[in-house]
Amino acid sequence: MTLIRPLAAVLRDAAAVIAFVIAWQLVTVAFSVPAFLVPAPSAIAQALVANAGRIGAALGQTAAEAALGFAAGNVLGLALALLFARVRALERVGLPIAIALRSVPLIAIAPLLTIILGFGPITIIVMAVLISFFPALVGAASGLRAPSAEALDLMHVLDAPERVRYARLRIPAALPFVFAAFKVTAPAAVLAAMVAEWTAANSGLGYLIIDAGEQYRFPLMWAGIVAATALAVAAFIAASIAERRVISWPVESA
Amino acid sequence: MRRRAWLETAVALLALVAVWEVIARLVGARFPVVPAPSEITAAGARSAYPIWLNLRLTLIEALIGLVAGSGLGLLLAATFVAWPRAEAGLYNLVVTIHSIPLVAVAPILLIWFGVGITAPTLVAALACFFPMVVGATRGFRAASQSSLDLMRVLDARPWRSFLRVRLPASLPFLIAALKIAAPAAVLGATVGEWLGTAGIGYLLFSSMANFQVALLWATMLIAAAVAAIGYLAFAVVEHVVVDWHPPAGEG
């Protein structure tokens, strides 16, 4: 998926979205669909405006928690990957565990994390850390090993110092893997924060959605879902833009 | 060599459990939220039957979700390959649907379908759908152009060239997608059960609410093991079936 597309394609997508919303509005009004099934877009927009303060505060909280966790998880993951590249024995033992944990649905441990770390923002941030950590570690560890044997041999023949081998060869080779991980974990960090808000908070977007649902305030619930989706999409787009800025050379898109 | 790597990992894990047991016994009274492995095992054994009943439900939901979600994903990817115009129109819709956080979908599905097996199954299916669409679309595209040209020269019917060229070429990608989808199905079912009244997700939530710490740990570890088994099962399939070429770019 490219981000910078021809204007015509952007317009076509926008037209499709607008047509979809109009059709949704018409169907809900024409068949008087009850709000607990699907509220009309106009009702959702109304709820969004009427509760702008509450939704804005929840959005800000979730975004901050997700961003903090994402940053910390990636710093830790990348640092450990660099260590793995230097200490092979550590990598041999640690990488299989990391690969397995990357694939395990960590979100399901939110109740456990809540018991261990208690009710509050720490649990939510740590959840986002866990979600970001393993993909960063696995991606960077594979990327640092990605340079071809020929390229490494060349560095060896040229007697390049270790620092140069990393700066010129290993780290550039790892970047596409790292950014591929970013594009997955940036929206996943939002998801993780929202899940942890179910168990460890009474604020934030995750809590707002559940709370509104339990009070049968369905337009507010959907407004929260719209806000959450926008946040996740924004996180993905930010990661894609960062990738585009940093990686100027052609790579096979992952 | 591979066997040795596995052995090292196993030894490292065992050492971890041993250290955990010792530390938990030394400071356990002051740190009750992390019980010793022996306590967790005992709690799991005491509640083995209720855990099994809930696990069975979650497994059924996850399996149906996996089959339905990745089946639909496969169909959509095949549609994309057969009619590229459909992809232009639908791909962004698929991405948008995928962007709606699963945790936000779960409460809606619960309201729509009520408490029961439907909502968790649908969350599981949704979790599997997207990895399969992406993986299968890439896989069907991975067929070599010369093989496709050959089929065309031989005047093969489109479905035949799909079956003989595109499907085999996509196999590594399909299995890679299933390796992601299988644990995701377990996750989806679990999250879908959180607000419900049965299943592993419910057990996690209720043991948290009742502060049954050892039971919570035991349930958690079982859920993680089930997800890991789902992943490993397809990793084994990959190892056995796809020995001719691994998909590029997969870690």
Contact A114 B208 (CB under 8 A): yes
Q: Would you say residue A147 has pLDDT above 70? A: yes
**Chain A residue closest in CA terms to B131:** A184
Q: Is B180 in Cβ contact with A103 (below 8 Å)?
A: yes
- Cα distance between residue B221 and residue B203, in whole Å: 12
Calculate ∠ Cα A146-A148-A154, nearest 5°: 130
Could you tell me if B189 and B124 are in contact, meaning their C-beta atoms sit under 8 angstroms apart?
A: yes
Comparing CB atoms, the residue among A103, A190, A195 nearest residue B231 is A103
Q: Provide the residue ranges of all domains of chain B, joining segments of one domain with +.
A: 1-34, 41-242
Q: Average pLDDT, stretch B181-200?
A: 89
Mutate to test the interface with B, among A90, A107, A112, A221 (most CBs of B within 10 A): A112
Burial of residue B82 (CB within 10 Å: 0-12, 13-18, 19+) is middle
- Cα distance between residue A27 and residue A221, in whole Å: 20
Q: Position A68: which residue type? A: L
Minimal Cβ distance to B103: which of A112, A177, A195: A195
pLDDT in tens, A82-122: 998 888 888 887 887 787 777 666 777 888 888 888 888 99
> What single-letter amino acid sits at B68?
A
Test the B interface: residue of A18, A59, A62, A93 with most B CBs within 10 Å: A93
Interchain contact, A254 vs B249, CB within 8 Å: yes
Contact B104 A104 (CB under 8 A): no
For the domain made up of B41-242, give the CATH fold: MetI-like fold (1.10.3720)
**Which residues in chain B are closer than 8 Å to A210, comparing Cβ atoms?**
107, 195
The whole-chain average pLDDT of chain B stands at 85
Evaluate if residue A181 carries a pLDDT over 60.
yes
Asked if the Cβ–Cβ distance from A224 to B180 is below 8 Å, we say no
Smallest Cβ–Cβ distance between A93 and the set B12, B186, B217 belongs to B12
Whole-complex ipTM: 0.74
pTM of the model: 0.81
Distance from CA of B190 to the nearest CA of A (A): 7
Q: Which residues does chain A have within 8 Å of residue B101's beta carbon, measured at their own beta carbons? A: 187, 190-191, 194, 228-229, 232
Min mean pLDDT across A125-134, A241-250, B62-71 is at A241-250
Contact check, Cβ <8 Å, B9/A97: yes
Say if the Cβ atoms of A93 and B183 lie within 8 Å.
no
Q: pLDDT tens digit string along B197-242?
A: 899 999 998 998 888 889 999 998 898 888 888 888 988 888 887 7
Split at pLDDT 50, 70, 90, the class of B69 is: very high
Q: Tell which of B34, B93, B99, B236 to mutate to test the A interface (max A CBs under 10 Å).
A: B99
Which of the listed ranges A19-23, A68-72, B1-5, B149-153 does the model predict with the highest average pLDDT? A68-72
Lowest mean pLDDT segment, chosen from A65-79, A232-246, B26-40, B47-61:
B26-40
Alpha-helix runs per DSSP H in chain B: 2-27, 37-46, 48-82, 84-99, 102-113, 118-141, 145-153, 158-161, 167-193, 200-209, 213-241
More confident residue, B241 or B80: B80
